[in-house]
Amino acid sequence: MTAKLAKATVKSSAKASVKVTVKATGLKPGGKVKVTYGKKSVTATVKSGKATVKLPKLKKGKYTLKVTYLGSTETKKATYKKTLKLKVK
C-alpha cells in the first residue's frame, strides 16, 4: 500500500486530500481506507485498488496522518508504515 498527500501544506480555507493505492497480487482490491488525524478519522471507498480520501477543512496547525486499509473479503487489513505530515496555514 502507498499513500501520498496531494499537497503537504494547505490553507485553512481548503481541504486536504490523501491518495491511496492498495496492491494485491492478481487482484484489484476494493473495500475501505481510513485516514486518522488526532482522534478523528475519515473513510473512503477503494475502487480497483485506488482511493482519494478528502479531509474536512482543518484549523491551522500541524497534523500527523495515519492511513489504514480496512480490508475486504479478498484482502487483509493493512496499515501504511509511514505517517504523513500535513501543515495547515
Question: pTM value?
Answer: 0.92
Tell me the pLDDT tens digit for each residue of 7-50. 999 999 999 999 999 998 888 899 999 999 999 999 999 999 99
User: What is the total count of domains within the chain?
Assistant: 1
The span from the CA of 78 to the CA of 56, in Å, is 24
Q: Note whether 88 and 59 are within 8 A (CB).
A: yes
Range of the domain at 31: 2-88
CATH at 37: 2.60.40.1930
